[in-house]
């Protein structure tokens, strides 16, 4: 029963833990499990927002570069 619960709790978050390097943090009780879950979600959201901002900045630079060449 423990392995079923662990599989259900991990889900895709297990992959995100590996990607963001928090796989070594053990969640041994319900409090730390919840804390780790929220930490992982916020870290993933921050990474997504940073990538979106970087993409927008690069698009702005490309537009400015094209406008400069047109003039």
pLDDT per residue of the chain (71 residues) written in tens, 0 to 9: 455 555 555 555 555 556 656 666 666 788 888 888 888 889 889 999 999 999 999 999 999 988 888 86
Rounded CA gap, 41 and 37, in Å? 6
Q: Are 8 and 19 in contact (CB under 8 A)?
A: no
Q: Structural domain tally of the chain?
A: 1
Query: What is the residue range of 20's domain?
Result: 2-70
Instruction: State whether the Cα torsion 27-14-23-45 is positive or negative.
Output: negative
Contact between 44 and 35 (Cβ < 8 Å): no
Contact predicate 27/33, CB 8 Å:
yes
């Amino acid at each position: 029963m423990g392995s079923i619960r662990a599989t259900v709790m991990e889900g895709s978050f297990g992959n995100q833990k590996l990607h963001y390097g928090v796989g070594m943090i053990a969640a041994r009780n319900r409090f730390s499990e919840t804390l780790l879950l929220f930490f992982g979600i916020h870290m993933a959201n921050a990474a997504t927002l940073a990538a979106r901002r970087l993409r927008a900045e690069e698009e702005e630079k490309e537009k400015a570069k094209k406008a400069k060449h047109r003039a």
